[in-house]
């Protein structure tokens, strides 16, 4: 696993992800606070067990109560549109109107809040797999998309996180080992029928795939690679909490009111050459929330958050710094790209965000559109979450199932 990975979109058209097979679309600047996760308590990732409820929400800052439609597509293991018809993976209507919306109340920024649950009275998913949900406007044009995964617990997945085996990597990387137990599922050819995807912190960009089992032992598939399953540990995420919009708190230096509330964070210092410092985080996630209101979904304010970053190292020509996190689905846009201010000698950008708790970090993108996630330093001690998804395509089957999910945290790092 190298520390840089390729971005599948062109900067000339920053709202659309382009590759030969990709059909993902980034949200326009007026769509904010997109969340997609299980409705279970303390579940904040877009992975659900078949039969569970998925909650999908977003805000439209144009605030004109548009009629949006959603569409769900089934995808292959490598996130291409599958050949299944909607009747093969679902019951009801795979395309329907988003029926729940409410306009903001008593806020400086007008917006319309939309909410959708899957399954609902009109639509239900009946098989596991990778899925893409698209939001369409009244002209039936795709406004933006999000990925999610539905799994069935047909196998057990045991995951452990270890230090890297090589001396050169031991201070900077983490190695993922796992075992798949399938006593109730006959797998005739594991090397061909089983596929694996390992995600770090639910970042769609940071994934390891195409692994074969190293050993077979009865009804166990064993994966104990030394090089193929290592990730850079990275650094702990930075954070701020704007739940109280009128008060400066930890990491918020000042709040002023102009047309919108403006939240000015303290200057972030480069951490690349600093020793590891423990800083509890939520691994890049964000949680819209506010206090002193009755309903946070439509009474929370939007605020212009001013990020400033001080970096003493020269950045290569045609390389750019970005604020990075789940708040915009780990994507890079014009809004979260920092520019150098000659007067302050800082890198700066403003991002309009809803009140809430936010994790973020800084990444460097070079002229080849590769993301360097170690720009803020990388340590083996860094706390990361890992998700191991097991895909199964039986010989002759028309689609790939997701038959297991395992999770591990480097809090329990093993030697």
- Reference 362, options 374, 353, 380; nearest CA is 374
Domains of the chain as residue ranges with CATH:
4-151 (2.60.40.10), 156-233+380-412 (2.60.40), 238-372 (2.60.40)
Q: Tell me the pLDDT band of 22, cut-offs 50, 70 and 90.
A: low
Please give the sequence-ordered ranges of beta strands (E in DSSP) within 168-237, or none if there are none: 173-181, 194-200, 207-209, 215-217, 220-223, 230-232
Instruction: Look at residue 213 in the predicted model and tell me its pLDDT.
Output: 96
**pLDDT of 175 above 50:** yes
> What Å distances lie between residue 61 and 124, 290, 333, 336, 348, CA to CA?
29, 18, 17, 17, 23
List the helix and strand counts (H, then E) for the chain.
3, 32
Average pLDDT over residues 120-146: 96
CA-to-CA dists, residue 378 to 172, 198, 325, 381, angstroms: 5, 19, 16, 9
pLDDT for the residue numbered 320: 95
pLDDT at position 39 is: 87
Q: Which two tokens stand for residue 393?
A: 């395509």
Phi and psi at 297, nearest 5°, equal: -70, -35
CA 56 to chain centre: 14
Considering the chain, what percentage of its residues have pLDDT values greater than 70?
A: 94
pLDDT of the residue at 312: 82
More confident residue, 367 or 170: 170
- 226 Rama class: left (phi>0) / alpha (psi -120 to 50) / beta: alpha
367-387 pLDDT, tens digit per residue, is 888 899 999 999 999 999 999
Contact 405, 47 (CB under 8 A): yes
* Gyration radius of the chain's alpha carbons: 22
Whether the predicted pLDDT of 32 surpasses 80: yes
Q: Is the dihedral of CA 222, 226, 232, 233 positive or negative?
A: positive
Q: What is the Cα–Cα distance from 222 to 214, expressed in whole angstroms?
A: 6
Q: Per-residue confidence at 7, pLDDT binned at 50, 70, 90?
A: very low
Task: Please tell me the predicted confidence (pLDDT) of residue 19.
Answer: 36
Q: pLDDT at position 5, please?
A: 44
pTM above 0.75, yes or no: yes
Instruction: Note if the bond before 29 is cis, omega within 30 degrees.
Output: no
Helix (H/G/I), strand (E/B), else coil: 154 = coil
Question: What is the band of 21 on the pLDDT scale with cuts at 50, 70, 90?
Answer: very low
Mean pLDDT, the chain, integer:
91
Share of the chain above pLDDT 90, in %: 85
Question: Quick check: 395 pLDDT over 70?
Answer: yes
Rounded CA separation 17/236 (Å):
28
Q: How far apart are the first and last CA of the chain?
A: 19
Lowest mean pLDDT among 37-51, 203-217, 379-393: 37-51
CA-based nearest residue to 204, from 408, 7, 405, 13: 7
Q: What is the pLDDT of residues 216-269, one digit of tens each?
A: 999 999 999 989 999 999 999 999 999 998 888 889 999 999 999 999 999 999
Segment 307-324 shows an average pLDDT of 91
**Torsion angles phi and psi, residue 82, rounded to 5:** -80, 170
For range 108-118, the mean pLDDT: 97
Per the DSSP assignment, residues forming a β-bridge with 151 are 49
CB contact at 8 A, 82 and 182: no
The arithmetic mean of pLDDT across residues 68-89, rounded, is 96
DSSP character for 89? Answer: H
Q: Is the pLDDT of residue 2 over 70?
A: no
pLDDT at 191: 94
């Amino acid at each position: 696993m190298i520390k840089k990975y390729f971005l599948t979109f062109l900067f000339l058209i920053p709202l659309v992800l382009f590759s030969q097979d990709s059909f993902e679309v980034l949200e326009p600047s007026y769509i904010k606070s997109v969340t997609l996760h299980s409705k279970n308590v303390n579940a904040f990732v877009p992975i659900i067990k078949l039969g569970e409820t998925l909650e999908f929400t977003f805000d439209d800052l144009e605030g004109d109560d548009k009629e949006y439609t959603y569409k769900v597509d089934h995808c292959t293991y490598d996130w291409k549109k599958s050949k299944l018809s909607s009747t093969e993976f679902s019951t009801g209507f795979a395309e329907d109107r988003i029926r729940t919306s409410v306009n903001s109340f008593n806020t400086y920024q007008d917006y319309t809040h939309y909410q959708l649950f899957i399954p609902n009275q009109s639509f239900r998913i009946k098989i596991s797999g990778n899925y893409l949900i698209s939001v369409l406007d009244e002209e039936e044009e795709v406004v933006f998309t999000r990925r999610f995964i539905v799994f069935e617990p047909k196998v057990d997945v045991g995951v452990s996180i270890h230090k890297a085996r090589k001396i050169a990597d031991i201070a900077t990387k983490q190695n993922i080992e796992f075992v798949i137990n399938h006593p109730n599922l006959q797998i005739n050819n594991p090397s061909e029928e089983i596929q694996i995807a390992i995600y770090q912190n639910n970042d769609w960009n940071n994934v390891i795939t195409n692994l074969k089992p190293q050993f077979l032992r009865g009804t166990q598939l064993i994966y104990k690679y030394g090089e193929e399953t290592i990730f850079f540990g990275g650094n702990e995420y930075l954070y701020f909490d704007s739940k109280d919009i009128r008060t400066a708190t930890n990491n918020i230096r000042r709040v002023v009111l102009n047309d919108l509330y403006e939240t000015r964070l303290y200057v972030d210092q480069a951490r690349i050459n600093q020793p590891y410092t423990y800083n509890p985080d939520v691994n890049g996630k964000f949680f819209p929330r506010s206090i002193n209101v009755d309903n946070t979904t439509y009474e929370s304010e939007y605020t212009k958050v001013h990020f400033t970053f001080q970096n003493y190292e020269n950045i290569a020509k045609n390389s750019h710094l970005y604020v990075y996190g789940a708040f915009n689905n780990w994507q890079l846009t014009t809004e979260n790209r920092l520019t150098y201010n000659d007067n302050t000698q800082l890198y700066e950008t403003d991002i309009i965000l809803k009140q809430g708790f936010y994790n973020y970090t800084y990444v460097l993108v070079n002229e080849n559109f590769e993301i360097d996630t170690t720009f803020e330093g990388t340590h083996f001690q860094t706390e990361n979450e890992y998700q191991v998804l097991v895909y199964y395509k039986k010989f002759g089957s028309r689609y790939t199932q997701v038959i297991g999910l395992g999770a591990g945290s480097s809090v329990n790092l093993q030697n």
